[in-house]
Amino acid sequence: MLDAADTSSTRPYLIRALYEWCTDNGLTPFIAVLVDETVRVPNEYVKDGEIVLNISFDATSSLTMGNEHIEFKGRFGGVARDIFVPVDRVVAIYARENGQGMAFPMLASSGDAKEVFAPGDNKPVSLTRVPDGSVADEPPVAPRPSGGGKPSLTRIK
């Protein structure tokens, strides 16, 4: 009988499933990434050690979502950039339009993680709507500005 230590992580499978759900429903999939030295993204767009990336078909080219990493070419300020994100650095995937998705706990690694969980506690946490319209659990989706600005994630302790 296999135990949890003998099986692969569910994180990449859940990311791919939610990506497919978003695209099937005409929604825009975004991933929130905790940035460290293993993540290759434009540093000028990293805020408080995190970056939110649009991984929709329209925003990426050559998108590869494997079990170990997510890789694609994306445009930032009109300039094409190569993006490389280890799957274990993805802290959430959600639909921009409604905030539905899933947040994942981070395992302690290089000491820069904002949340520390014991190894083996790598269980996904569902994002759910609460009565005021915000999203419960981490990271909730901030309300979209009425001026059409960029959405962002806000951590609530």
Closest to 157 measured CA to CA, from 114, 103, 120:
114
Q: Which domains does the chain have, with CATH numbers?
A: 4-136 (2.30.30.220)
What confidence tens digit (pLDDT) does each residue in 114-132 have?
A: 443 333 444 444 444 444 4
* Alpha-carbon gap, residue 66 to 71, rounded angstroms: 8
Report the pLDDT averaged over residues 69-84. Answer: 95
* Alpha-carbon gap, residue 65 to 44, rounded angstroms: 24
Q: Quick count: other Cβ atoms within 10 Å of Cβ 81? A: 14
Residue 90 CA neighbour count, 13 Å, CB half: 35
pTM above 0.85, yes or no: no
Closest to 18 measured CA to CA, from 4, 7, 33, 28:
28
Q: pLDDT band at residue 135, thresholds of 50, 70 and 90?
A: very low
What is the predicted pLDDT for the residue at 106?
A: 76
Sign of CA dihedral 12, 18, 24, 28: negative
